[in-house]
Amino acid sequence: MTELTSGIDAAPDTKPKEVALSAVVLGVLAVVLAVIPGADFVAFVPGLLALVMGIVGLRDPAQGSRRSLAGVILGPVAIVLSILTASGALRP
């Protein structure tokens, strides 16, 4: 008995690195929001999410370690900048 195949090979494992990429995007967004007066209070949330997603991405070997590391760095930087901006320490 012959086996019928559809002729379509399975796609290679090209799982997108969503967690690492999300960490970078949220980190950049948080840093930008942190330096905008009035939006500095909002920057805390994406900064915290960037930190958490970056840590999750570092623990998963399938994720990009450089992108995850960027999220781990940008998250706390945004949090500190938002606190400094909200307290008035960065205003002239």
Q: What is the pLDDT of residues 43-87, one digit of tens each?
A: 899 999 999 999 988 888 777 788 889 999 999 999 999 988 888
pLDDT of residue 14: 47
pLDDT of residue 6: 58
C-alpha distances out from residue 25 to 5, 6, 47, 72, Å: 41, 39, 10, 12
pLDDT of residue 26: 94
* Residue-range domain boundaries for the chain: 18-87
Q: What is the pLDDT of residues 21-42, one digit of tens each?
A: 899 999 999 999 998 888 888 8
C-alpha distances out from residue 44 to 6, 31, 62, 74, Å: 51, 9, 28, 11
**CA neighbor of 24 nearest in space, from 1, 59, 49, 50:** 50
